Amino acid sequence: MGDAPGHTLITQHVAYLRTQRRLAERTLAMYGDAFARLQALCEPEGLALDALRSHHVRGWIARLHAQGLGPRSLAITLAAWRGLFKWMGREGLAKVNPADGIKPPKAAKPLPKALSVDQAVQLAEQAPRLSPPTAASPAAAARQEREAPWLAARDGAMIELLYSSGLRSAELIGLDVAASPQAAGWIDLQAAEAHVLGKGHKRRSVPVGSAALRALRHWLDVRASLTAPQDNALFLSRLGTRLTPMQLRNRLKQLAQLAGLPTHVHPHMLRHSFASHLLQSSGDLRAVQELLGHAHITTTQVYTKLDFQHLAKVYDAAHPRARRKP
């Protein structure tokens, strides 16, 4: 660090972090980078460390961000600077901590992953016909063959309902076979509606598409033929009890792999697909918000970004000047 501003103080502080705080070498290396940035910013302005104020730190963080330093790196930088000035305050070397109260820019949230329309339809249409590899033992193979018809009916109904109505996994597995005061949710086949208990114990009703209704009626016929189900749950496990979130997740992952989809599929991805595809077709953000049960429109607005991504891909693929260099 040479004769850069605060070199001696920073060297002493790093020694304190190493011996007293026992920070890991990787953390020390990242903090060292942060202190080097601080010295490089102080030097042109001839500022000593104890002369820094919050407007200096705020401006420098903005400058580093503009130069391409990411939110996580900026957060580490601020943590290192804040710790340095706190230590200086305890040692009587600084009167204020100029990094206090300054927050790094928020990291961009990753967009929810959605299937394409073709992939979603492929999964929904193939699920009732997919069979896992034959089990090794004769007994397991016999059980597999015996269970195959009702598992196919159940799986087809679950996938159609997830994609048709945008249900959360907890809402799906919380459905009962019939309405009752104790039921968290149920399907009204006559009205083509699903009544569910969503986040915050808020009830909502969502329409159920014709393909999902057909799959549900078939599953209910099959379910009625099963030997004394031990639960009122609409969707049952092999043991006749309510399906668990993990069982649903694992089954959907297996079915997606058998269907040849090139991505890991989980229940919430079908909810994302429902929202994205509905928004692409209708453009009605408020309606999608109501159907998803979002309390705030900002939660639903993330799907407009997915919609723009779809439009951008169409543009890139179709417009004669989309990919031409000037």
Q: Is 303 a catalytic residue?
A: yes
Q: Is 268 a catalytic residue?
A: yes
Q: Is 16 a catalytic residue?
A: no
How many beta carbons lie within 10 A of that of residue 270, not counting itself?
29
Q: How far is CA 201 from each of CA 177, 198, 246, rounded to the nearest angstrom? A: 20, 6, 21
Q: Is 163 a catalytic residue?
A: no
One of 86, 266, 268, 310 is an active-site residue; which one? Answer: 268
One of 168, 251, 272, 277 is an active-site residue; which one? Answer: 168
One of 195, 223, 271, 277 is an active-site residue; which one? Answer: 271
One of 199, 203, 217, 313 is an active-site residue; which one? Answer: 199
Q: Is 201 a catalytic residue?
A: no
Q: Is 90 a catalytic residue?
A: no
Tokens in use for 120? Answer: 């979603």
The catalytic site residues sit at 168, 199, 268, 271, 294, 303
